[in-house]
Structure 1
Amino acid sequence: MGEKVSGSRAELVRFATVGAFTFVVDNAVWYLLKLTVLEGHPTTAKGVGILVATIVSYVLNREWSFRERGGHQRPHEAALFFAVSAVALVVNVIPLYVSRYVVGLQRPHVDLLTQEVADFLSGSVLGVALAMAWRFWAFRRWVFPETTPETPQGASRP
């Protein structure tokens, strides 16, 4: 039991490290697009940032965070990963959408600084936290399940 808990803790630390790196990727792409070609479309820019970060996340999580897990062939695993990540993308942009279009924290209703702080807090703090919790649980549950002695790594599970 103690070995399982420490393994889970190690997975969480690796997952959080990948998350920190992809947080930077997401925000770099988001702000680059939001301040240039997608200036009037912050939720679209955020979605593209999340998509780029998701691709990076798959590679890093597969090869590092959950490398000791298996149970699915790669195409099945990738399909599950991107399905879980699609739900996470929606979860992530909902707080930004609410901040901008329901609460009205956008120009001209507020100044530029207020808009940008609200965007960051709703899109990159609250949205990311909610999506991260969903992804960690779903990845461990469906995408990278534990292999059992009767299920060799890479084999399909029933």
Structure 2
Amino acid sequence: MAVVESVLDHVPEPLRAVLIKHRELLKFAVVGGTTFVVDNGIWYLLKLTVLEAKPTTAKGIAIIIATIVSYVLNREWSFRTRGGRERPHEAALFFLVSGVAVVVNLIPLYASRNVFNLEVPHVSLLVQEVADFASGSVLGMLLAMAFRFWGFKRWVFPDELGDRRGEDAAVGNERRVRA
């Protein structure tokens, strides 16, 4: 039995039906949370040690590693019942959508700094940092996450029958029969 199914067995029925209906979105969110931790963990590890003088380089390395982790987890877990494309084509589309999502993520931060002038000397350092976090790490991330989910479902992992779709349907039918 998969981890998701064992967790769902402990959820009350009305909520369980909603979670099952949106299973793909939940898995995508778990992958996003995991890669958020990977990204920030590697970034802080690098910028507080070997790349102390180069925080942007450290962030770039962290983003690349987190994006690779995201591809593997999304392909093998979140969207494993989708697909049908050859792996190089799928990977190219994944990294293209992820690249556009980086731009989407940066738009609120750019607006905060350059449109609303929420930066020193116009505001205090505290206001600048809170605005950066809210616009870059919260709003930007949420917009990018919504774009990625849509883009991944639409182009990277389309709802064409993949090799494992039949296996998942059989497991789901077996669970319904047992219940």
TM-score range, shorter chain: 0.7 to 0.9
Question: What does the per-residue CA deviation read over 1:114-144, in whole Å, with 9 as the maximum and x for residues that have no partner?
Answer: 1111111001111011111111011011101
Provide the secondary structure at the position in 2 that maps to 1:110: coil
Structure 2: gaps of 5 or more residues: 1-17, 165-179
Question: Using a 3 Å threshold, how does the CA distance of structure 1 residues 37 and 107 change in structure 2: closer, same or farther?
Answer: farther
1:23 aligns with 2:36: yes
- Structure 1 contact 26–49 (Cα < 8 Å) conserved: yes
Aligned Cα root-mean-square deviation (Å): 2.8
Structure 2 residue corresponding to 1:116, chosen from 129, 132, 150: 129
CA positional deviation for 1:52: 3.5
**How does 1:91-102 map onto structure 2 within 5 Å?**
91-102=104-115
Match of 2:66 in 1: 53
Match of 2:119 in 1: 106
Name the CA distance, whole Å, in 2 between partners of 1:52 and 1:8: 31
Name the CA distance, whole Å, in 2 between partners of 1:103 and 1:118: 10
Q: Which of 1 and 2 has higher RCO (CA within 8 Å, sep 6+)?
A: 1
Question: Using a 3 Å threshold, how does the CA distance of structure 1 residues 120 and 110 change in structure 2: closer, same or farther?
Answer: same
**How does 1:11-90 map onto structure 2 within 5 Å?**
11-29=24-42, 33=47, 36-38=52-54, 49-90=62-103
Choose 1 or 2 for highest CA Rg.
Answer: 2
TM-score after normalising by structure 1:
0.76
Provide the secondary structure at the position in 1 that maps to 2:123: coil
Q: Percent identity?
A: 65
- Structure 2 contact 19–26 (Cα < 8 Å) conserved: no
CA positional deviation for 1:7: 5.9
Name the CA distance, whole Å, in 2 between partners of 1:99 and 1:46: 20
